[in-house]
Amino acid sequence: DALVSSGLRDVGYEYVCLGTCRRLTPRLITPRLPGADPVAGCERADDGVMLVNRSSSGELIADPAKFTNGSLASLGHYLHAHKLKLGVYSSGGTGTCMKRAGSFGHEAQDAATWARWGVDYAKLDWCNAQEPARTWYPKMQKALNETGRHIFFAMCEWGSEDVWTWGSAVANSWRTGPDICSYWTTNDTLNPYCKGVGDIIQNNEQYWRYSAPFGFNDPCFLVTGSNYTHGSDPPGSGAAGLTEDQ
């Protein structure tokens, strides 16, 4: 509703993308899911958009406490009625980065579920991967295409396997590196899992020739209005976020 009333939809902000979690509880609570990042959200089984486990028939289940009948279809209908588009998140491994069910081995089933829900955008992360990216992502490409629905396919393989050289034959976008952090530069020392805004700008300069209409380099999110530090930054690391100018 805010995207519409603010005018953002009319200037191109049309996708409403759900991540792996919708955090409803304070951070650093217990009990947490085994292996989940204690600061990134998803500390409890009921913090997710999707349930931790699949149905008895192997289908993904949206948390029925948040979404009607364990489905995102109603949300999809609502967004489409307002000329917006629905995005979902999963991973090409056995589980997502926050320990929800991954799409490995369920490519066709998940693609069909998303199409039935009216999904327009699917981001596939790379946590808990079982195969090389260049082997698995074409499987999801095939599954999505076979639904007959136009679904923007965003690969998030963290820039592995020189993806910029082959990504355009598989997906609509591909990640060219690790996650972004709310710093200007990490100097490769603050956190091995993310890079600062300045680092990413410098890294992506070399890939411009691989990006074209319908196939884009994805340097990760644009950081706006936030001065957080990454949840896994070590105490005393000096991570201070971005300045207003940055």
Q: Of the residues 125, 199, 218, 233, which is catalytic?
A: 125
Angstrom distances, CA of residue 12 to CA of 16, 51, 84: 12, 31, 10
DSSP 143-205: HHHHTTS--EEEE--TTGGGGGGTGGGT-SEEE-SSEE-SSS--TTTS-TTEE-HHHHHHHHG
120 is catalytic: no
R_g over Cα of the chain: 18
Q: What backbone torsions phi and psi does residue 116 show, to the nearest 5 degrees?
A: -65, -35
199 is catalytic: no
Identity of the amino acid at 10: D
- Residues serving a catalytic function are 125, 179
